A = this chain, B = another copy of it.
Amino acid sequence: MFRFSDRIKDLSGTATREILKLTSRPEVISFAGGMPSREGLPCDVIREISDGILKSDLAPTVLQYGQTEGRPELTEQIVAYLKRFDVVAGAENIQIVSGGQQGLDLLCKAFVNTGDAVLVENPTYLAFLQIAKTYQANIVGVDADENGLILSDLKSKLEKYSPKLLYTVPTFSNPTGKTYSAENRKAIVELCAQYGTVAIEDDPYGRLRYSGDDVPLMKTFDTNGTVVYVSSFSKTVAPGLRVAFVCGAPEIVRKVSIGKQGADVQNPVLCQLIVAEYLKRGYFDKVLAQNIALYKTRRDCMLAALDKHMPEEVSYTRPDGGLFIWLTLPERIDAAKLLPAALEKNVAYIQGCEFYADGGGKNTMRLNFSNSDERRIEQGISVLASIIKDKIKEQ
């Protein structure tokens, strides 16, 4: 009966959101989401900071309308934060957004016309695929290996499609957990600059390193505004606050701001000031160190459980950080078809095909290790392995 737009009429909610609804039952061992650990959320610190702000002279400012660009106290802290990673930025380079996802949405809004090509790694963050679909982009997958994007494939697709955007999660990627090498990053930036394609470096997980050495941000190889860096405090402070930022060339940030004026005017001021004060008082590194220790234990626990229970036909990534392990089944097995049996035994994951622009990856799945304790990880992987073994035997 209703005449919905072409962009949305055939879109249903992502499979992930639907699976996440199922996993809200406490008996479910969920490897499906990408949530920080509940125990690791800094409730006391945030209460203390929030109360301080609302007791201060800033209280009416917190409750009144504010600037679209974001609160200057937060921008200042972000500029200092970026300096630690050798990114030189000023206020004109920063737009505060409501979760990294809004940054991605507003970048598509600023660049993508219907039918414009957008390159993504195959596989990639599924919400970006959903966003690019609402902008009716022509989404093209680029092949990748353990070092990053395959440069010959990237070059030929830059040449063929003249894409407006390349979307990447180069550090502890969602969904695979892998990290692009420094050489790969540098070459990607140079190629994108050559072809006039803006490269989005989405970095929600970069601070969550459990082993190995830091790799320079893609943004540090940028000499002319080719790279837009998007990062979020969802995985390092608290996702419920919805505080993230876009860092890019002033011309791009200005268009993102205009897009945000129309979209929602501004982020809530209280949440912005909470994160600003959290950074300023030095809680960021302190709390993060505790969470890194927790997540490292959980990653190690999941890898040990996989090593112990999975049949040898199954392979998986061994990420140095982030929240995810990526599992590959024998080619003939469809991970989506195993999901009902897994859910029946109260174990959830996301089927890997959701992360592919072209519907590939049917024999893959994404496993999250941050939000389950060791006992549940061991138990859940054991259940999953037995379902997979049964399926292998069946065929």
Residues of B within 8 A of A238 (CB): 63-64
Question: Is residue A127 contacting chain B, with contact meaning CB distance below 8 A?
Answer: yes
- Across-interface contacts of A41 in B (CB, < 8 A): 59-60, 63-64
Q: Which residue in chain B gives the minimum CB-CB distance to A252?
A: B2
The answer on a CB contact under 8 Å between B240 and A2 is no
A8–B110 CB distance below 8 A: yes
Interface residues of A, count at CB 8 A: 82
Chain B residues within 8 Å of A105, by CB: 262-264
> Contact at B101–A265, with CB atoms within 8 Å?
yes
The contact of A36 among B36, B64, B102, B113, by CB within 8 Å, is: B64
Docked pose: A248 CA to B198 CA in angstroms: 38
Determine, out of A46-54, A290-298, A313-321, A387-395, the stretch whose residues face the partner at the interface. Answer: A46-54
Distance to closest chain B CB from A266 (angstroms): 7
Given known pairs A43-B54, A263-B105, the reply for A33 and B127 (CB within 8 Å) is no
Segment at the interface with B among A9-17, A172-180, A343-351, A355-363: A9-17
- Whether A219 sits at the interface, judged by CB under 8 Å, is no
**A79-87, A139-147, A151-159, A267-275: which lies at the B interface?**
A267-275
- For residue A148, CB closer than 8 A to chain B, the reply is no
Query: Is A130 among interface residues, defined by CB-CB distance under 8 A?
Result: yes
Residue A340 at the B interface, CB < 8 A? Answer: no
Q: A41-B64, A131-B262 are in contact. List 13 more A-B contacts (CB 8 A).
A: A1-B225, A7-B113, A13-B261, A46-B54, A46-B59, A47-B59, A62-B240, A105-B263, A109-B134, A242-B265, A263-B263, A263-B264, A268-B271
Q: Which residues of A contact B (CB under 8 A)?
A: 1-9, 11-14, 17, 33, 35-36, 38-39, 41-43, 46-47, 50-51, 54-55, 59-66, 68, 97-99, 101-102, 105, 109-114, 116, 127, 130-131, 134, 164, 196, 198, 225, 234, 238-242, 249, 251-252, 255, 257-259, 261-271
